[in-house]
Chains A and B, each alone.
Chain A
Amino acid sequence: MIPGSFEYHRPDSVSAAVKLLAEHGDEARVMAGGHSLVPLMKMRMTDIDHLIDLQAIGDLKGISVDGGKIRIGALTTQHELINDKGLAKAAPIIHEASLQIADPQVRYMGTIGGNVANGDPGNDMPGLMQCLDATYEVEGPSGKREIKARDFYEAAYFTALGEDEILTAVEFDAPKGGYAYEKMKRKIGDYATAAAAVLIEMDGGKCTSASIAMTNLSDTPIYSEAAGQALVGSSLGDDAVSAAVKAMDEAINPAEDNRGPVDFKRHVAGVMLRRAIARAAERA
């Protein structure tokens, strides 16, 4: 369990890190908390010659809640997400989901930037960011650009991030209405068998908007606009919820693995979505 040799770098600014990436090309990788990357390196499933540790870049840290706008620096850890009172108030779904990621030790190290940039369909934050319609801010040699979370994921470990770019922050509007993140896992510290992120707004007993995204049920997170649309205009009765579950089921494409066969995963996905809709509705 010893990784191959590499050169270790600890730049103290985004521009210095970007420069190192440009210099070393595909032999270089950035590391945030290392809790997805280090296990892969230990199993020699990835080969890196230059490891660029981002920990000293102060600009990548911190949470700001400004009116309805939320900005979270890429290096913010899951532990910090859980303990930030302002964020828990403005976007309680982040708090609820972060508590379901990994275990306490991992959450002290794992960052939101690493979680969304990793591209592993098992990660919980990407689906959540799609549900929130978040924007990722990235920076490369030719400056900054923004990518919508809903456009970011291409396939497992393939994203819209360029090899010479760093993800610097995630931004989204504070969600309104009810929320829920429901995750089925085999044990604490496990990735989702299936998970559902749901935001719902209600007005006079009718649903006025709904956003639904699913985790670990395809090689990317799945934002299902159709599932959300199935709820809008309804009072969230059985028919509407079943229509949402059907639309979601058509959008996912789970694969059999040690978390179960395809039918089981589809079943669990439906259960998670029903529970999440019910809980979000209670809170709306």
Chain B
Amino acid sequence: MSKIHLKMKVNGKQVETLADSRELLIHVLREELGITGPHIGCETSHCGACTVDMDGKSVKSCTVFAAQANGADVTTIEGLGTPDELHVLQTMFKEHHGLQCGFCTPGMITRAYRLLQENPDPTEEEVRFGMSGNLCRCTGYQNIVKAILAAAAEMNAAKEAAQ
């Protein structure tokens, strides 16, 4: 079978690569493009560790063919912040101990990013419901929820200050 010529925007950069039609987006990101932030946890559409943002949607990249993402705008944890310039969500996860082993964290933060874009001032219940596609074996979720609420408050304060 012929390879597909993929063109996508990944973390703001235009990328091109060849992929088999049966290759999943997570594999192309990690193995072809060297973007290893999104993790493979369950590989069965349940854990959310592979979550990336695709055209404004949080998706499990283990359940999307790379071919489906052809032409899409993809953002991974690498596109949200850098070690020198953390995203507010990353800062708050650090501050509130929203991670232990860190395996679920890239997916958590990428999902939380979209949640706060859609609902900038969520209640605790809305955070829990909005994050219910992401599993964590370590933290018990409490501090993840705290970190996201703190990030929301921080982002809203910054927005107000800018006005």
Q: How large is the interface on B (under 10, 10 to 19, 20 to 34, 35 or more residues)?
A: 20 to 34
Within 8 A of B (CB), among A91-112: 102-106, 108-109
Cβ of A2 < 8 Å from any Cβ of B? Answer: yes
Number of A-B contacts (CB under 8 A): 81
Q: Which of A3, A8, A108 contacts B4 (CB 8 A)?
A: A8
Q: Mark A1-42, 1 if CB is under 8 A from B, else 0.
A: 111111110100000000000000000000000110011011
Q: Which residue of A lies closest to B60 (CB)?
A: A105
Segment among B39-47, B74-82, B85-93, B142-150 that sits at the interface with chain A: B39-47
> Could you mark each residue 5-27 of chain B with 1 if its beta carbon is under 8 Å from any beta carbon of chain A, else 0?
00000000000000011111000
Tell me if A189 counts as interface (CB < 8 A to partner B).
yes
B158 touches A (CB below 8 Å): no
**Residues of chain B from 85 to 136 with CB closer than 8 A to chain A in the complex:** 111, 115, 129-133
Interface band, chain A: 20 to 34
A152 CA to B81 CA in the complex, in Å? Answer: 49
- In the complex, which residues of chain B have a beta carbon less than 8 angstroms from the beta carbon of A45? none
Q: State the Cβ distance, A99 to closest chain B Cβ, in Å.
A: 8
Chain A residues, Cβ within 8 Å of B1: 5-7
A104 — which chain B residues lie within 8 A by C-beta?
A: 58, 111, 115, 129-133
Closest residue on chain A to residue B23 by CB atoms: A2
Assess whether A103 is in contact with B44, with CB atoms less than 8 Å apart. Answer: no
Interface status of A274 (Cβ within 8 A of chain B): no
Say yes or no: B21 contacts A5, CB within 8 Å: yes
Q: A109 contacts which chain B residues (CB < 8 A)?
A: 57, 59, 63-64
- Least CB distance from A131 to B in Å reads 24
A222 to chain B, nearest CB (A): 27
- Report if A108-B58 is in contact (Cβ < 8 Å); known contacts: A5-B1, A189-B133: yes
Q: CB-CB < 8 A to A3: which residues of B?
A: 22
B139 within 8 A of A: no
Residues of B within 8 A of A42 (CB): 24, 43-44
Asked if B111 contacts A105 (CB within 8 A), the reply is: yes
Judged by a CB distance under 8 angstroms, whether A79 is at the interface is yes
B70 nearest CB across to chain A (Å): 8
Inside 8 A of B48's CB, which chain A residues have their CB? 103, 105
* Residue among B68, B115, B131, B132 making CB contact with A189, cutoff 8 Å: B132
Contact B46 A2 (CB under 8 A): no
Q: How far is the CA of A189 from the CA of B1 in the complex (A)?
A: 35
Asked if residues B60 and A106 are in contact (CB atoms below 8 Å), the reply is: yes
Q: Are B58 and A105 in contact (CB under 8 A)?
A: yes
Cα distance, A105 to B133, chains bound together (Å): 6
- Chain A hits for B44, CB < 8 A: 1, 39, 42
> A103 contacts which chain B residues (CB < 8 A)?
48, 132-133
Chain A positions within 8 Å of B21 at CB level = 5-8, 51
The CA-CA distance from A106 to B65 in the complex, in Å, is 14
Q: Does B67 contact A (CB under 8 A)?
A: yes
Cα A70 to Cα B31 in complex, Å, equals: 45
Q: Which residues of A contact B70 (CB under 8 A)?
A: 10
Which of chain A's residues have a CB closer than 8 A to the CB of B63?
A: 34-35, 38-39, 109
Apart from A39-B45, A42-B43, A105-B59, what 11 extra A-B contacts exist at CB < 8 Å? Answer: A1-B44, A2-B24, A4-B22, A5-B21, A8-B4, A10-B67, A39-B63, A41-B22, A79-B57, A104-B115, A106-B45
Q: Which 10 A-B pairs have the closest CB atoms?
A: A103-B133, A108-B57, A8-B21, A105-B133, A188-B132, A8-B67, A5-B1, A1-B43, A3-B22, A104-B133
Q: Name 16 A/B residue pairs within 8 A (Cβ), A-sorted.
A: A1-B44, A1-B62, A2-B23, A8-B21, A34-B68, A41-B22, A42-B24, A42-B43, A79-B57, A104-B111, A105-B48, A105-B58, A105-B111, A106-B45, A109-B59, A189-B46
Q: Give A contacts to B, CB under 8 Å.
A: 1-8, 10, 34-35, 38-39, 41-42, 51, 53, 55, 79, 102-106, 108-109, 188-189
